[in-house]
Amino acid sequence: MDTGVVVSGILTRDSVPGLVLSSVGSAGKLIASLETLAELENVLWRKKFDRYISEAIRVESVQRIFRMAEMVEVLEKLKICRDPKDDKFLELAVAGKATHLVTGDDDLLVLNPFPGCEIISPAEFLTSIRS
């Protein structure tokens, strides 16, 4: 999952991204890199979220993601995405041999199919695990 899906899932647990986040474990495993976890922390601590989520929930959410995720060391840098900031998710997918990258980001979605990995929306992911 990219950062946007994880943050949306944390903020609104009954949303489609929230259901995707809660399905981790039963539907597969979550992988992360130091770079993707750092981005998650950075985004969650933006002031714009202060009115929606307490610091305690942010800390607990990051700790929960860290416990759930299998840490993957990214050794290969890629320059594929039209938004270079999103290349870290492709690098993680390659390094972790991911079968799916769940994202709502059009810059990543346009790259589907990506070698060895489907890049799909949260709704498509839910449909695939329910079939």
Q: 27 pLDDT band (50/70/90 cuts)?
A: confident
pLDDT by residue (tens digit) across 33-87? 999 999 999 999 999 999 999 999 999 999 999 898 999 999 999 999 999 999 9
For position 93, which CATH number holds?
Answer: 3.40.50.1010
Residue 50 phi, psi dihedral angles, 5° rounding? -55, -35
Mean pLDDT of the chain: 94
pLDDT of the residue at 28? 81
* Chain position carrying tokens 């307490």: 54
Pairwise CA distance, residues 24 & 27, whole Å: 6
Q: Which domain holds residue 41?
A: 3-130
> Which pLDDT score is estimated for 26?
80
Q: What's the mean pLDDT in 106-118?
A: 95
Please list, residue by residue across 98-123, b when 16 or more beta carbons sit within 10 angstroms of its beta carbon and e when fewer do.
bebbbbbbebbeebeebeebbbbbbe
* Mean pLDDT value of segment 96-122: 96
pTM: predicted TM-score of the whole model, two decimal places? 0.93
The total number of structural domains that make up the chain:
1
Backbone angles phi, psi at 69, to 5 degrees: -80, 145
- Please give the average per-residue pLDDT across 13-20, as a whole number: 94
